[in-house]
Amino acid sequence: MASRKIAVIVGSLRKESFNRKVAKTLMLLAPPQLDMTIVEIGQLPLYNQDDDDAPPATFTEFRDKIKGFDGVLFVTPEYNRSVPGVLKNAIDVGSRPYGQSAWNGKPAGVVSVSPGAIAGFGANHHLRQSLVFLNMPAMQQPEAYIGNISKHFDGDKLTDESTEKFLKTFIDAFATWVERHAD
C-alpha cells in the first residue's frame, strides 16, 4: 500500500482532552502506511461569508493544509447531541468558498469519545450528515463510539486492553478505507 497523509481533526480544545488522547493513541496504533498529523482548529476565527473575497490568513492556511491530505480522521466529543462549535466552524471554513471545498472527496473516519455511557452517538451521526454534503466517503464499519473514556486512561496512557484492541481494529480498517477511496 502507498503511504497516505491523514489529517487528524480533534473536536475538543480542552488541554487534557480525552479526544486528543484517543487521537494520539490511534496515531501510535496506525499501520505504517498512514502518515497522521493533528491539524489544529482552535485558532480559526468564526466563519463569515463576508470574508470570502479577502479571507483571513488562517483560513487560507487551513484550507491549503487540508487540501494536502489524502484523508481525514475526526475525533470528537459530543456537545448538546452534536459536534462542538469549534469543529463545525473548521468544517465550514474548509468547505468555503462554495465550490472550492478542501474536504471534497477525501475519505473520512469518525470516532466519538465521551465520559458518559452514550459515547457521543449524537455527535458521531450529526458529523456524518455534514460529511455526506461535503462529498467525503465516511467509513461505516467499524463504528467508533468510546464511552466512559475517563476510566480507560491513566494520564496519557490508554490502560484498557479491550479499548486498545478495538482502536487497532478501527485504525487498520480506516487504512484500508483510505486506500480504497483516496485519489
Mean pLDDT score, 140-155: 92
How distant, in Å, are the alpha carbons of 18, 115, 151, 157, 159 from that of 154?
A: 11, 14, 8, 5, 6
pTM for this entry: 0.96
Task: Write down the pLDDT at residue 38.
Answer: 98
d(CA 19, CA 74): 10
Rounded to the nearest integer, the mean pLDDT of the chain is 95
Q: Does domain 4-181 have CATH number 3.40.50.360?
A: yes
Task: Write down the pLDDT at residue 47.
Answer: 97
Domain map (residue ranges) of the chain: 4-181
65 Cβ contact list (under 8 Å, min separation 6): 7, 39
d(CA 72, CA 117): 26
> For 11-64, how does the pLDDT look when each residue is reduced to its tens digit (9 = 90+)?
999 999 999 999 999 999 999 999 999 999 999 999 999 999 999 999 999 999
Q: Give the pLDDT band (50/70/90) at residue 138.
A: very high
Q: Is the pLDDT of residue 144 over 90?
A: yes
Task: Identify each DSSP E strand in the chain by its residue range.
Answer: 4-10, 34-38, 71-76, 108-113, 144-146, 153-154, 157-158
Q: Give the pLDDT band (50/70/90) at residue 1.
A: low
Beta-strand pair 157-158/4-10 = unpaired
